[in-house]
Structure 1
Amino acid sequence: MTRPSINIDADAFLSTYWQQSPQLLRQAFNPEQLISGDELAGLAMEPEVESRLIKHLPESDEWLLRHGPFAEEDFAELGPENWTLLVQAVDHWIPEIRTLLSGFNFLPQWRIDDIMVSFATKGGGVGPHFDQYDVFLLQVEGTREWRTGQLCDENSEINAQLPVKILTDFEEQDRWVLQPGDMLYIPPAFAHWGTALSDCLTVSVGFRAPAHSDLISDFGHFLASKVSDFNRYADPELANRSSAPHEIRPEDIVRLQTILHDYADNAALLTNWFGQYMTQPKYDDQAVETGDWAVEEFISHWRANPIYRNASSRLAYTDTVLFVDGQAMVTDLTPEQLNSLCDGDVFTHAAYAESEPMQKVLWSLINLGAVFFEG
């Protein structure tokens, strides 16, 4: 399967627009043969797929939200206008959609969250809102008007009376009409508002941006599982406290800072945790069943059957360590081999017959459920 490219000057984009301001790129990709509205509706009927229907009633300015899975009659009763179907993680199910990710290889792939696809009828949209992550909006079919607005923060007012997070105030800065093949980049916290001018399909490539509170919390849990209880707070150079025995003094805090800094400054420890954290699967229930293949049995079967990447698995690497779905695996692979592994979708025995380290890693991955044999 041919991987589509994104027509973008990566260096100029990163220096001028990335996490700074929106950018519209005309005819940035080939929109053909990615997905149809019928395919998207079919996915939304599956119980394991996360989907939403949002309908706007212009007369009363009312917004209606429903969560999937849906049935055919749900779509039939929506009417011809003012509704949107949104389906998350379509890249986990449609190979043609997953191939889009290679067009964004100028960005860390472990930062990608998923690819959402929306189908909207004329007038459909989700209202003025902002996201806390970077997103690329690719127009696949039809036309959609996008308006971008102010930079938002935690004080930006959201209409609490509505089932969808819509901004109370929207300060328009720019307005564009996107045609098939056009792409709009929206940085985190920038208000934006899309409205379908005709029946249309839009692909949204979203990037993970963990909250600092989540990073700190998860790292704390990771440390707690790694650090021995014999490591204790100590104050061997303690001064006489009889004048104020209940006071927590600055030197006490310095001792505490030293303890915490020792862990935070440990690059190897941080890397091990961060690689596992950033490769945790988005949906645990989409994992392929783990296997119990013996090495000889695996190699024999592989000779006649290619191995396929589990689209819901997340992979990353550093040096010789492979991070896979929240686990760390020390390997004998070179960084180039690890990069090829993380980038691959299909693995044949013929391609790796001379690489025992790669065979060993793929054997481990198939038993973890990160790759699989079809059938």
Structure 2
Amino acid sequence: MTNTLLGGLSAEEFLAEYWQKKPLLVRQAVPGFTGVVTREEIFQLARDPDVESRYVTHDNHDWEVIRGPQKAADLRNKKRPWTVLVQGLNLFCPDGDALLHRFDFIPQARLDDLMVSYAVDGGGVGPHFDNYDVFLLQGIGQRRWLLSDQDDRSLIEDAPLKILQDFRPVHDWVLNPGDMLYLPPQWAHNGIAIGECTTYSIGFRSPTYQELAQQFLGYLQEAIQLDGIYTDPDLRRQANSAEIGDAMVDRVAESLRRITWSRDDVRRFLGAYLTEPKAHIFFDSPDEPLEHDDFLDACAEGISLDPRSLLLFTEGQFFLNGEPVHVEPCDQAILQGFADRRRLDSIAGLSEEGTALLYDWYCCGFAHVSDDLMD
């Protein structure tokens, strides 16, 4: 499957030759693909207040962006080219979640979400660049992609989008249904709809080191424990009572040197940080949860992670939706497979503690035993 998706390349070849290095155009990456949602379903999601969406319209250099929920009237606009973009399609559409995880040859810790954009003729978001990797898979219709590796990233002032002032493309490709384009970070690009079209964007997380540092310091704030209180038995009278003296600075500096961290601290931080759901994500518990024994019987048909759940592991430690999870050593191999494939066809071999853990996840809405129990 990956071989077709990457145009005959193995995942290893793609990572070595293209990942974060240069673009890759794949004709018929997903043969016969026209999308996982209809136009009407895209519009319905765009009008939902619980779904992130943007409506972008333009006329020459005049751009307008409206954040959701969208108005039905705007989605029938025929005066100017427009596009509507829906984030997190994988959270609301099982087929979208399955499409996103076809890209698990990149670690799930790096996967972000699946976005779908619908555009009328001429619609797009203008020439821009992203700071993350993205796969652009064409659904219905055609889209023309202009690409540039230019160093000039000056933006149009006061525009509601980050649009490049001087875009100089070096590639000009038209994608048909099932075609796909991979773009590394910093490659400028402009996608222009040729008639009605949809494009599915598989994006990846690329936090800045500043963000990682801030989040890690916040993690340490809750994790560290420094004993004692500030004391100064050798205090001497100062010439100026309002001055913060060198002795106080030195004493506090010495105490702060006790704040240290290890590689294991970083590992635990990443587990919690990378699995933390976005702020707008909520989980729905079953209205009438199965009793424990009935749950075990239902697991004979398999159990799957909710599309909103992220289960990661590292060195025998497991993290689900921002929280560490204790897993018995005898259950770790099975739950590693659950994390990788996001589904277990059988829970045979799990200990009582392991099945109890899955039952708790089911009751919290983190996992589901079958499609008919997800409502």
> How far apart, CA to CA, are the structure 1 residues paired with 2:278 and 2:333?
26
Deviation at 1:232, TM superposition (A): 9.2
In structure 2, the partner of 1:158 is 155
Deviation at 1:138, TM superposition (A): 0.5
Cα distance in 2, alignment partners of residues 15 and 3 from structure 1: 15
Contact conserved, 1:283 with 1:312, CA < 8 A, in 2?
no
Q: Secondary structure at the match of 2:149?
A: strand
Task: Please report how far the alpha carbon of residue 299 of structure 1 lies from its aligned counterpart in structure 2 after TM superposition.
Answer: 3.2
Work out whether 1:303 is the aligned partner of 2:297: yes
Check whether the contact 1:91–1:115 (CA below 8 A) recurs between aligned residues.
yes
TM-score norm. by structure 2 comes to 0.83
CA distance in 1, matches of 2:151, 2:215: 27
Provide the residue aligned with 1:369 in structure 2: 365
Quote the Cα distance in structure 2 between the aligned partners of 1:147 and 1:259: 53
Aligned to 1:14: 15
Cα distance in 2 for partners of 1:346, 1:80 equals 46
**Kept after mapping to 1: 8 A contact 2:34/2:138:** no
Q: In the TM superposition, what is the alpha-carbon distance from 1:209 to its structure 2 partner?
A: 0.8
Counterpart check, 1:204 vs 2:201:
yes
**In the superposition, relative to structure 1, how do residues 308 and 13 fare at CA in structure 2: closer, same or farther (>3 Å)?**
closer
- Any conservation in 1 of the 2:281–2:308 contact (CA below 8 Å)? no
Kept in 2, the 8 Å contact 1:21–1:187? The answer is yes
Secondary structure of the 1:365 match is: helix
Q: What is the match of residue 26 of structure 2?
A: 25
Q: 1:115 to 1:33 in 2, by over 3 A?
A: closer
The corresponding residue for 2:192 is: 195
Secondary structure of the corresponding residue to residue 128 of structure 2: coil
Q: SS at 2:167's partner residue?
A: coil
Residue of structure 2 equivalent to 1:138: 137
Measured against aligned partners, the alpha-carbon deviations of 1:318-337 in whole angstroms (never above 9, x if no partner) come to 13322111101120255532
Change (3 A) 1:353 1:335: closer
C-alpha root-mean-square deviation of aligned residues, in Å?
3.2
Residue 90 of structure 2 is aligned to residue 63 of structure 1:
no
Residues 1:317 and 1:368: Cα distance change in structure 2 (over 3 Å): farther
1:352 alignment counterpart: 347
Alpha-carbon distance between aligned partners in 1 of 2:3 and 2:169, rounded to the nearest angstrom:
33
Aligned pair in 2 of structure 1 residues 71, 299: CA closer, same or farther (>3 Å)? farther
Aligned to 1:282: 278
- Percent identical: 33
Show the counterpart of 1:183. Answer: 180
Report the Cα distance in structure 2 between the residues aligned to 1:292 and 1:231, rounded to whole angstroms: 50
The AA in structure 2 aligned to 1:14 is: L
User: For the Cα contact (< 8 Å) 1:135–1:204, is it kept in 2?
Assistant: yes
Q: Is the alpha carbon distance of 1:111 and 1:36 closer, same or farther for their aligned partners in structure 2, counting shifts above 3 Å?
A: same
Q: Is the 8 A contact 2:35 2:198 kept in 1?
A: no
What does 1:15-164 align with in structure 2 at a 5 Å threshold? 15-30=16-31, 31-32=33-34, 34-58=36-60, 61-76=61-76, 78-79=77-78, 82-150=81-149, 156-164=153-161
Q: Which amino acid aligns with 2:121?
A: K
Letter in 1 for 2:278: K
**Counterpart Cα distance in 1 of 2:160 and 2:47:** 22
- Residues 1:41 and 1:362: Cα distance change in structure 2 (over 3 Å): same
TM superposition shift of 1:121: 0.9
Bigger mean CA offset, 46-55 vs 318-327: 318-327
Q: Secondary structure at the match of 1:165?
A: coil
2:265 is the counterpart of 1:269? yes
Question: What letter corresponds to residue 24 of structure 1 in structure 2?
Answer: L
User: What residue identity is the alignment partner of 2:336?
Assistant: N
Counterpart of 1:242 in structure 2 is none
Moved more, 223-232 or 9-18: 223-232
Distance of 2:200 and 2:255 partners within structure 1? 48
Aligned length: 351
Instruction: Give how far 1:214 is off.
Output: 1.1
Q: 1:146 to 1:354 in 2, by over 3 A?
A: same
Once the 2 structures are TM-superposed, how far is the Cα of residue 227 of structure 1 from its aligned partner?
Answer: 1.1
Q: Match of 1:85, SS?
A: strand
Q: Contact 1:120/1:196 (CA < 8 Å) preserved in 2?
A: yes
Unpaired runs of 5+ residues, structure 1, are 234-244
